Chains A and B, each alone.
Chain A
Amino acid sequence: MHKIFIRSFVSSLVFLFTLTVAAVAKDVKAAFVYIGPTGDHGWTYQHDVGRKAVEAAGFKTTYVEGVPESADAERVLRQLANSGHDVIFTTSFGYMNPTNKVAKEFPNVKFEHATGYKREHPNVSTYAARFYEGRAILGTIAGTMTKSNVIGYVASFPIPEVIRGINSFTLAAQKVNPNIKTKIVWAFTWYDPGKESEAAKALIDQGADIIAQHTDSTAIVQIAEKAGVYAFGQASDMDKFAPKAVLTSVENNWGPYYVERVKAVANGTWSQKDTWHGIGDGMVVISDLDSAMPSDLQAKVKKLQADLASGKVHAFTGPIYDQKGDLMVAAGKTADDGMLAGMMTYVKGVEGDIPK
C-alpha cells in the first residue's frame, strides 16, 4: 500500500513535471530582427524562411524588418526583450554592439547574433555559415563552364567574409582551369538592384561569360539571363528568376539552427556558443544543378560537395599564393579559422586591388 502510494506519488510528480516542461516549451517566444525587407529574396528572405521553420516547430515568433544599424537597433532590441521574448536573433553584423549592450540589461533573455564576434555576456551567442564552401563549388562550376576564361564577380563590401568568398571561388576555379581570371566590381551595397545591374553589365562588357555575386537581389541573374551568360543564385534558389542563366544557387539554410536553439531555450539547455556551420551541418545548401552542366561536371560537383561536407576536402588547402606571389598557406596545410576570419588579401588570379 505504502509502496503503491509512493510510486503513484512519484509518477504523478513526473507527470506534473513533464506537463510544466511542455507548457514552458510552448510559451517560448522567439524574435527576429532583419536588416532588409522580408521580400528581398536574399539575406533577409532566408532568415525569414528560418523563422517560419521555428513557427512550424510550434513556437511563437515575432519579427521586425528594415531595422537600420543606427541608434534605432538598440531600441528595437530593448522593446523585444521587454515584451516577453525569450530569445532574439539579430541577423546583421551592424547589430553587434547594440546586441551586447541590451543583453547586459536582460540576462534572462538569450541573444543570437549572426556574423559577429563579440560575446561579452553569457547570454550572447554568435553564429555564421561557411559560405566559402559553397563558393568553392561555384568556382569549380565556373572554371569548367567558362569559354572566355573571364569570370565576373559582383562584390558588396571589402570585409573578410566577402574576400574569403572571392578567394575560395577563384582557388576552386583555378584548380579545374588554371587560365581563368576573376574580375571584381565592388557595388558597395548588400541590396540595390540598380547598382547590382550596372555592375553585372560592366562585367559582361569586359568579356565575363559567368557572373557570380555576393549581393542579395535577383537583378544580376536577370541581367545574365538577358545577356545570355551564366550566373549563380545568392542566398536563396534564384532559378525561377532566370531559369537559363542560373546554374545553381548557394542557399543560406538557417532553419535547422534556429529550431535547435529555440528548442534549447525551451528545454533550459541553451548555453553560449560560437557556431560556424557549413555544408556538412546543412547551413549551406547547394540548389539543384542546371541541366546545361555536363554530367561529368555534375558528378564532380556532387563529389566535392560530399568531400567538403565530410571534411575530406578543405576549400583553402595549400599551396596558396597571394597576388604578389607570396606564400599564404603551405603545401598540404589548410587555412585555420583565425586566418579565414581575418582574410583581407586576394589570392593569385584575382584581378585588381581591394578597395582601401
Chain B
Amino acid sequence: MIKIVKRDQPSRAIFFLTPILAIFLTLVAGGLIFYIIGFKPFEALKFFFIVPIADMYGFSELLLKATPLCLIAIGLSFCFKSNNWNIGAEGQLTFGAIVSGGVALIFYEQEGFYILPIVILAGAIGGMLYASIPAILKTYFNTNEILVSLMLVYVSKLILDYLVVGPWSNPEGFNFPETRQFSDSARLPILFEGLRIHAGIFLALAAVVASWFIFYKTYLGFQMKVSGFSLKTAKYAGYKGKKMIILVFLISGACAGLAGVGEITGPIGQLHREVSPDYGFTAIIVAFLGRLHPIGIIFASLIVAITYLGAETAQIFMQIPKYTGQVFQGMILFFLLASDYLLFFKIKFTGLKK
C-alpha cells in the first residue's frame, strides 16, 4: 500500500532538491512534447539546451540574458521572503528605464565620466519611486499590493508609449516611435570586444552578494524571515511592519529599475516601445525556482535564460515553433509547484493491510 503522510517539518533536503527535480521533469515532458509534435526529442533538446551556449559568443549571450532576470529576481526575493507580493517588477523596470533614459537624453552628445553613474542612479530611483506606490498604498490604505503593482505595469508601458511617440521621439526619426541613440558616455561599457555582455553583470553580482549578506547576517533579514513565516508573530515581536514593507518594495524596485537601465544603456542604446520582453514577469519564475536564495537565483536565471536562446536556435535549425520556449518556462514553474507537495508530505510504502 502507498500511504501519504504529512511531514512534521518541511524537509530541508527536499527544499533544495525539488528545483532540480522540476527541471528534470521539464526536460522529460519537453522531450515528450517534441516527440508528439513530430521532432526527434534528443536532437531537439540538444538544440534547445546545448547548441546555444556551445561557443564563447553563445555563452556571453546567455549571461546577457540572465543578467536582468537575476537582478530582478534578487529584488523580488526581498518582497516574497517577507510576504509582500510584488507582481509589478515589469512596471518598475519600465519606469526605471524611462527615468534613466530621460537623463541619458539630457546628456545627448555630451561626454564625461560622471554621466553614466547619474544615468544608473536615475534608473534605480525611478524603479524605487514606482515600487513605492503599491508599498505606500498597502501600508497606509490597506490595498492589495498584487493588484496595484500589476496594474501599474500597464500604466508604465503607456507612459513609455506616450514619451517615445511624442515628446521624446527622435526629431530626425520621421516620427517613428523611438528616441535618439544615447551618447557613448551614457552607455554601460562592453566587457569584451565583439560581444554584447556589459558591465551590468557586475550590478547583478553585487546585488547577489548584498542580498546574501542582508538575508543571513542582518537584523532586517531576520525580521523579513519572521514576517514571512507569520505576520502575527512579527507584530507580537514588535517589528515595525510598515517600515519593512516599504523598504523591501524599494529594494525590489531599485533592482528592477537597474535591470531596465542595463537593457537601455547596454544592448539597446535608446528608448523605444519594447524595452523588455517581460523580464519582470519571467523573473517571478526565476525567484521561485531559485528558492528565493541568492545562489539559487543565479542558477535559476541561467536556466530560464537558456529557454529563450534555445527557442531561437531550435526554430532556426529545426523549425520548431519559437513559442515552445514559453511552454518550457511554464512547465518549470508548474513542476516546481507540483513537486513542492513533497515538501510537506511524504510517500510511505507500507505492507498490505490484513
Residues of B within 8 A of A64 (CB): 312, 315-316, 322
Q: Is A342 an interface residue (CB 8 A)?
A: yes
Stretch with Cβ within 8 A of B (4 or more), from A71-79, A196-204, A250-258: A71-79
Q: Is B165 an interface residue (CB 8 A)?
A: yes
Q: With A64-B312, A69-B274, A72-B308 in contact, do A342 and B175 touch (Cβ < 8 Å)? A: yes
Q: With A159-B177, A356-B166 in contact, do A70 and B161 touch (Cβ < 8 Å)? A: no
Q: Is B323 an interface residue (CB 8 A)?
A: yes
Residues of B within 8 A of A117 (CB): 174
> What 8 A-B pairs come out closest when comparing CB atoms?
A71-B267, A68-B277, A69-B274, A356-B166, A70-B277, A70-B274, A64-B315, A344-B175
Q: Is A144 an interface residue (CB 8 A)?
A: no
Number of interchain pairs (Cβ within 8 Å): 85
Tell me the A23-80 residues at the B interface (CB within 8 Å). Answer: 31, 37, 62-72, 74-76, 78-80
Q: Is A294 an interface residue (CB 8 A)?
A: no
Q: Is there contact, CB below 8 Å, between A71 and B272?
A: no
Tell me, rounded to whole Å, the shortest Cβ–Cβ distance linking A180 to chain B: 26
Tell me the A297-356 residues at the B interface (CB within 8 Å). Answer: 341-342, 344, 355-356
The 0/1 profile, CB within 8 Å of B marked 1, for residues 147-189 of chain A is 0000000000111100000000000000000000000000010
Q: Is there contact, CB below 8 Å, between B64 and A71?
A: yes
Tell me the A64-111 residues at the B interface (CB within 8 Å). Answer: 64-72, 74-76, 78-80, 83, 93-94, 97
For B157, the closest partner residue in chain A by CB is: A188
Q: Is B313 an interface residue (CB 8 A)?
A: yes
Interface, chain A (partner B; CB < 8 A):
31, 37, 62-72, 74-76, 78-80, 83, 93-94, 97, 117, 157-160, 188, 341-342, 344, 355-356
Give bound CA distance, A83 to B309, whole Å: 15
Residues of B within 8 A of A356 (CB): 162, 165-167
Can you name 7 A-B pairs with beta carbons within 8 Å?
A: A70-B268, A70-B275, A75-B309, A79-B312, A79-B316, A157-B161, A157-B165
Give bound CA distance, A75 to B315, whole Å: 14
Of the candidates A68, A341, A344, the one having the most CB atoms from chain B within 10 angstroms of its own CB is A68
Tell me, rounded to whole Å, the shortest Cβ–Cβ distance linking A242 to chain B: 27
Q: With A70-B275, A71-B263, A71-B267 in contact, do A65 and B174 touch (Cβ < 8 Å)? A: no
Among A37, A72, A97, the residue within 8 A (CB) of B270 is: A97
Give bound CA distance, A216 to B108, whole Å: 36
Give bound CA distance, A78 to B61, whole Å: 11
Q: Is there contact, CB below 8 Å, between B321 and A159?
A: no
Residues of B within 8 A of A78 (CB): 57
Q: Is there contact, CB below 8 Å, between A62 and B274?
A: no
Tell me, rounded to whole Å, the shortest Cβ–Cβ distance linking B249 to chain A: 25
Q: Is there contact, CB below 8 Å, between A37 and B312?
A: no
Q: Is there contact, CB below 8 Å, between A62 and B316?
A: yes
Tell me the B305-319 residues at the A interface (CB within 8 Å). Answer: 308-309, 312-313, 315-317, 319
Q: With A75-B312, A93-B176 in contact, do A355 and B270 touch (Cβ < 8 Å)? A: no
The interface on chain B, measured as residues whose beta carbon lies within 8 A of the other chain's beta carbons, has a size of 39
Tell me, rounded to whole Å, the shortest Cβ–Cβ distance linking A104 to chain B: 12
Q: Is there contact, CB below 8 Å, between B274 and A160?
A: no
Tell me the B156-203 residues at the A interface (CB within 8 Å). Answer: 158, 161-162, 165-167, 174-178, 181, 196
Q: Is there contact, CB below 8 Å, between B316 and A83?
A: yes
For A64, the closest partner residue in chain B by CB is: B315
Give bound CA distance, A55 to B276, whole Å: 33
Q: Is there contact, CB below 8 Å, between B176 and A79?
A: no
Q: Is there contact, CB below 8 Å, between A94 and B174?
A: no
For B326, the closest partner residue in chain A by CB is: A66
Of the candidates A37, A79, A341, the one having the most CB atoms from chain B within 10 angstroms of its own CB is A79
Residues of A within 8 A of B165 (CB): 157-159, 355-356
Among B277, B313, B315, B316, the residue within 8 A (CB) of A72 is: B277
Residues of A within 8 A of B158 (CB): 188
Q: Is B266 an interface residue (CB 8 A)?
A: yes
Give bound CA distance, A65 to B181, whole Å: 26
Give bound CA distance, A69 to B270, whole Å: 12
For B270, the closest partner residue in chain A by CB is: A97
Q: Is there contact, CB below 8 Å, between A71 and B266?
A: yes
Residues of B within 8 A of A63 (CB): 315
Among B61, B274, B309, the residue within 8 A (CB) of A68 is: B274
Q: Is B269 an interface residue (CB 8 A)?
A: yes
Q: Is there contact, CB below 8 Å, between A74 and B316?
A: no
Residues of B within 8 A of A72 (CB): 277, 308, 312
Tell me, rounded to whole Å, the shortest Cβ–Cβ distance linking A220 to chain B: 21
Q: Is there contact, CB below 8 Å, between B322 and A66?
A: yes
Give bound CA distance, A323 to B323, whole Å: 44
Q: Is B138 an interface residue (CB 8 A)?
A: no
Give bound CA distance, A83 to B51, whole Å: 12
Tell me, rounded to whole Å, the shortest Cβ–Cβ distance linking B62 to chain A: 10
For B269, the closest partner residue in chain A by CB is: A97
